[in-house]
């Protein structure tokens, strides 16, 4: 007890000393002339709150008012927010204290939402200040104008308003967002951005990988121990250094430029700048992810092992929730750690409800891009931001040079990840490239792209037995500007991956769907580009599809554009009919029908099973009654049974699929690695 009383006495003495210093400053700093009534008790409590740093202070109606303000500033020449003894070096709070004191003719102290470090900028840091009850009628406009007239050009009060008596800038804050902007391109950064964006030296750019920065960011998410991410000897080393990162994002702003956004409740001294420095070191291969994880456990064996801040200039801030800050690192690196090979995410590690997946967009980790220009392809580059900067006159927007493909990857019974029939997609894409006067995609680039993307997005591969797949979509488009009609001079080839389930939920379990035969729309012209997987073909189907769905039909069937007589295909897939005598009938590969990869696989498997396969024209009216089973087949829908076809007032119903179910089960067994792949359709992804 004696030790406790002694410690308490020391603290009280220190508080009295600080309180006395502040009172003396108050007396010296008070401006002459008339001033509003300010109760001594309120002055004493306000000074005590400032002396304590951010103590809780509540006011009654009769005592005065608590004001809430938003402050924007360029912190380049300031030593952070917090006031310092003697007024030197210059701080944001010190300058604001003086401006408010001159305005109110009395010494006041602001309380900020966050203690920011030297060089930090803000777009709207929250603060509060207590003032006397007497105020002019138009005090908000008047005070804000006068404050900004007194403040230097790099500090502005953006908003001034009454706050509840129990509002506290620090303790009422819902969160803080720190933003760090980086330039990692080979071209120099814009000189106007030099104080708000760190430009990496060229030697750093050569080994910097944005995808690795994204991976490194994920390591900091959640509750971690930041013992090794604060500066030595600071008070934080004696207090808890455990902090919670709600979210951390790497957002690509433009080629060669990105920003790191960190959402948190609070940080230890220099924590975020050291985090970003560490992330950049990981992205350059200087330290491993395993090393970072060990650092965040708080039990690293080395002394000061974290690479310190990466730069001495360049930061900006985003608008705040309640309080905002931005971290400005300084170039300095300490400690060494051996770089390790990138660790591949575990298959299915993404926390998704796999059985509930539909055919919808899911934000995944990355995609890859290649650019064709001046007769050659660039090297592929991974991107984590799903947005792409594209010229407003890009050929794709005006003259429609765009093709896409689709195939699936599966987690097999043996634990491998394999792609199904991806080379068939390559062949079909290059057929479309020739038709659209676009450069063909070399098989080497195709293989590199799909292997890298699937491997980098391994955690989004639905695990074996979940019923899902990783849908891989390659696409190519004219990305160069083109005002007059003609082929583009530049093309971009992209591959991304997305976890999917059933396209038609109603058809799960081979239950089947109802289809409408459309007579008022054409999918493609007889000599057009219907045999290419062109984006425009699907745009032409949207109105027809929407009208069919309004009538209760999830899928519709097109007849030929010339005579409205012969079956062509469904709006999402090829048509297959099983006749009463067990034949597999499908339309021939005309220029108006897409040559389905799944249909190719099914016809081969049907032939293997001894089923007669016929590719020919199908006269709808004459032959529809001969089918006992009808199916829609394609990469997305796989094999979807059709329960009925409706054309006008006529309805044709079909029985339970038997042949189609056998073929469906055979394909699925091969895809899942449960049966032998007799025709080499499966391509294994190299995950090491």
Catalytic residues: 533
Q: Which residues of 582-606 are buried (b: 16+ CB within 10 A; e: fewer)?
A: ebbbbbeebebbbbbbbbbbbbebb
Q: What is the rounded distance in angstroms from the CA atom of residue 220 to the CA atom of residue 246?
A: 9
CB atoms within 10 A of CB 631: 32
Query: Residue 523: CB partners within 8 Å, gap ≥ 6?
Result: 530, 537, 540, 541, 558, 561, 568, 569, 571, 592
42: left (phi over 0), alpha (psi -120 to 50) or beta: alpha
- Output helix, strand, coil percentages for the chain, rounded to the nearest 5: 30, 25, 45
Q: How far apart are the first and last CA of the chain?
A: 62
Complete DSSP assignment for 110-162: -EES----TT--EEEEEEEEEE-S---TTHHHHHHHHHHHHS-TTEEEEEEEE
The rounded Cα 31 to chain-centroid distance in angstroms is 53
Complete DSSP assignment for 519-562: SS--SS-TTSSTTS-BHHHHHTTHHHHHHHHHTT-SEEEEEPTT
CB atoms within 10 A of CB 84: 13
Closest CA to 568 of 607, 522, 629, 534: 522
Q: Alpha carbon of 132 to those of 42, 104, 206, 509: distances in Å? A: 8, 9, 59, 73
Query: Residue 465: CB partners within 8 Å, gap ≥ 6?
Result: none
Phi, psi of 558 (to 5 degrees): -100, 145
Do 596 and 573 touch, CB atoms closer than 8 A?
yes
Largest CA distance in the chain: 108
Do 70 and 159 touch, CB atoms closer than 8 A?
yes
Task: Please list the residues that pair with 399 across neighbouring strands.
Answer: none
Helix 443-456 and helix 422-435, axial crossing angle in degrees, nearest 10: 130
Q: What is the rounded distance in angstroms from the CA atom of residue 328 to the CA atom of residue 320?
A: 17
Q: What is the rounded distance in angstroms from the CA atom of residue 107 to the CA atom of residue 101?
A: 5
Query: Residue 166: CB partners within 8 Å, gap ≥ 6?
Result: 58
Q: What is the rounded distance in angstroms from the CA atom of residue 212 to the CA atom of residue 283?
A: 5
Q: What is the rounded distance in angstroms from the CA atom of residue 602 to the CA atom of residue 606?
A: 6
Three-state secondary structure call for residue 664: helix
Q: What is the rounded distance in angstroms from the CA atom of residue 267 to the CA atom of residue 117?
A: 11
Q: What is the rounded distance in angstroms from the CA atom of residue 182 to the CA atom of residue 210?
A: 11
Closest CA to 618 of 532, 559, 530: 559
Complete DSSP assignment for 218-236: HHT-EEEE-GGGS-TTSGG
Q: What is the rounded distance in angstroms from the CA atom of residue 44 to the CA atom of residue 50?
A: 10
Q: What is the rounded distance in angstroms from the CA atom of residue 603 to the CA atom of residue 611?
A: 9
The rounded Cα 534 to chain-centroid distance in angstroms is 27
């Amino acid at each position: 007890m004696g030790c406790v009383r002694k410690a308490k006495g020391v603290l009280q003495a220190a508080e009295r000393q600080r309180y006395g210093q502040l009172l003396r400053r108050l007396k010296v700093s008070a401006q002459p002339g008339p001033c509003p009534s300010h109760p001594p008790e309120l002055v004493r409590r306000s000074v005590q709150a400032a002396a304590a740093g951010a103590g809780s202070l509540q006011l009654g109606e009769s005592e005065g008012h608590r004001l809430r303000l938003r402050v924007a500033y360029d912190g380049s020449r300031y030593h952070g927010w917090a006031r310092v003894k003697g007024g030197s070096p210059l701080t944001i709070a010190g300058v604001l204290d003086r401006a408010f004191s001159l305005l109110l003719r009395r010494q006041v102290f602001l309380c900020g939402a966050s203690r920011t470090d030297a060089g930090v900028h803000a777009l709207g840091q929250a603060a509060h200040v207590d003032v006397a009850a007497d105020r002019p009628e138009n005090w908000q406009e008047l005070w804000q104008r006068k404050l900004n007239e007194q403040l230097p050009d790099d500090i502005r009060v953006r908003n001034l308003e009454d706050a509840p008596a129990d509002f506290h800038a620090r303790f009422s804050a819902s969160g803080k967002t720190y933003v760090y902007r980086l330039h990692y391109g080979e071209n120099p950064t814009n000189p106007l951005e030099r104080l708000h964006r760190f430009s990496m030296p060229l030697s750093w750019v050569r080994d910097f990988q944005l995808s690795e920065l994204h991976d490194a960011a994920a390591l900091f998410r959640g509750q971690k121990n930041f013992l090794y991410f604060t500066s030595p000897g600071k008070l934080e080393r004696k207090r808890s250094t455990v902090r919670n990162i709600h979210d951390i994002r790497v957002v690509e702003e433009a080629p060669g430029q990105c920003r790191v956004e960190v959402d948190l409740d609070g940080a230890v001294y220099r924590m975020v700048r050291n985090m970003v420095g560490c992330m950049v070191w990981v992205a350059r291969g200087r330290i491993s992810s395993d090393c970072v994880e060990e650092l965040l456990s708080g039990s690293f064996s080395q002394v000061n092992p974290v690479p310190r801040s990466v730069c001495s200039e360049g930061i900006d801030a985003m608008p705040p929730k309640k309080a905002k800050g931005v971290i400005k690192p300084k170039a300095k690196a300490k400690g060494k750690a051996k770089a390790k090979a990138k660790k591949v995410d575990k298959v299915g590690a993404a926390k998704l409800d796999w059985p509930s997946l539909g055919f919808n967009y899911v934000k995944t980790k990355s995609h890859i891009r290649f650019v064709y220009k001046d007769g050659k392809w660039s090297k592929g580059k991974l991107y984590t931001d799903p947005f792409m900067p594209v010229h407003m006159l890009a050929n794709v927007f005006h003259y429609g040079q765009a093709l896409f493909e689709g195939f699936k990857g599966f987690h097999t019974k043996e634990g491998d990840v394999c792609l199904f029939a991806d080379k068939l997609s390559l062949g079909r894409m290059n057929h479309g490239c020739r038709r659209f006067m676009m450069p063909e995609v070399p098989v080497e680039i195709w293989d590199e792209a799909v292997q890298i993307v699937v491997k980098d997005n391994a955690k989004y591969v639905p695990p074996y037995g979940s019923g899902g797949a990783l849908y891989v979509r390659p696409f190519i488009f004219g990305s160069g500007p083109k005002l007059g009609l003609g082929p583009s001079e530049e093309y971009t080839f992209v591959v991304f991956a997305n976890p999917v389930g059933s396209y038609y939920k109603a058809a799960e379990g081979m239950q089947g769907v109802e289809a409408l035969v459309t007579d008022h729309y054409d999918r493609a012209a007889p000599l057009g580009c219907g045999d290419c997987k062109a984006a425009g073909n699907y745009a032409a189907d949207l109105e027809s599809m929407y009208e069919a769905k309004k009538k209760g039909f999830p899928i519709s069937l097109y007849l030929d554009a010339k005579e409205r007589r012969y079956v062509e295909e469904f709006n999402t897939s090829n048509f297959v009919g099983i006749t009463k005598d067990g034949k597999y009938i499908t339309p021939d590969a005309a220029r108006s029908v897409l040559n389905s990869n799944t249909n190719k696989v099914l016809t081969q498997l049907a032939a293997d099973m001894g089923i007669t396969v016929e590719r020919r024209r199908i006269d709808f009216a004459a032959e529809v009654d001969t089918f006992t089973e009808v199916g829609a087949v394609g990469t997305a829908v796989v094999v979807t049974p059709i329960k009925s076809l409706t054309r006008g007032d006529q309805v044709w119903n079909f029985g339970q699929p038997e042949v189609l179910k056998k073929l469906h089960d055979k394909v699925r067994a091969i895809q899942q690695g449960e049966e032998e792949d007799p025709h080499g359709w499966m391509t294994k992804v190299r995950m090491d």
